[in-house]
Structure 1
């Protein structure tokens, strides 16, 4: 997918290069790499937006720099016992954190289909990933409109 920031495109390629069983393993590895929250977001329910479409409790916050590129920074809270949800959040952080707002907004809403996870996870879980991206874009638009 040519509309993807380089780190996200690399992740899509990584998923495409392995079979369905290994894709799930790759997703689980990304779940373990999700960064800890900074102190200002420790109370996720009070300080972050919940993504209700996710089957597990997932909260996100988006910060956008005031620089010319409006670089985007992502923060997620998801319980350790929800590795699929954490893996989706890991994809977002790895692929989009630090990217210019325009590049984040240009990511196709269905980019996740290129990950080839449809055989590994349920459509309901994939809908959660789509909702994450939609919330990220909404927060980026809101932050850059001001």
Structure 2
């Protein structure tokens, strides 16, 4: 099985080696990195809601003909930590293959050291986001 995408591995390493007080700043930067939804998804039709998140969070993964995965995320700006998960995944998984996405460890956020900076409830939401994304990729790849 392939390793996780190199860009995501780089992000994980940056977070894991950052001092705790810098981690929150880094999360805020990633919360601004969520690309806007294309007009066809603005109503969330065809997107999956992640009820484990404390705020409304929607996602969609599409395996493209060139065997890369395009991801779409939507979360209100008032939820910067949850948006940060989306920003991390959007940037870290850009142009990734289904195999690379499925190779992302389920404990990604623990590997990033986020357990010291944010609540377990938020970690659970982020883990649910990753799990649903991987499930969508797996279903489209079968």
- TM-score scaled by length of structure 2: 0.94
Give the corresponding residue for 1:57.
56
Paired residue total? 141
Give the corresponding residue for 1:66.
65
String of CA shifts for 1:38-70, please: whole Å, max 9, x gaps: 1111102x3310011111110001111122xx2
String of CA shifts for 1:79-125, please: whole Å, max 9, x gaps: 01000000011111111121010110111111211111111110010
Give the corresponding residue for 1:17.
17
Q: Tell me the CA shift for residue 32 of structure 1.
A: 0.8
Give the corresponding residue for 2:29.
29
Q: Is the 8 A contact 1:64 1:71 kept in 2?
A: yes
Q: Is the 8 A contact 1:71 1:100 kept in 2?
A: yes
- Separation in structure 2 between the aligned mates of residue 34 and residue 126 of structure 1, nearest angstrom: 18
RMSD across aligned positions (CA)? 1.3
Give the corresponding residue for 1:96.
93
- Separation in structure 2 between the aligned mates of residue 97 and residue 52 of structure 1, nearest angstrom: 24
For structure 1, the residue ranges without an aligned partner over 5 or more in a row are none
Which contiguous aligned blocks of 4+ residues in structure 1 show a shift greater than 2 angstroms? none
Are 1:80 and 2:77 matched, yes or no?
Answer: yes
Give the corresponding residue for 2:127.
130
Q: Is the 8 A contact 1:3 1:108 kept in 2?
A: no
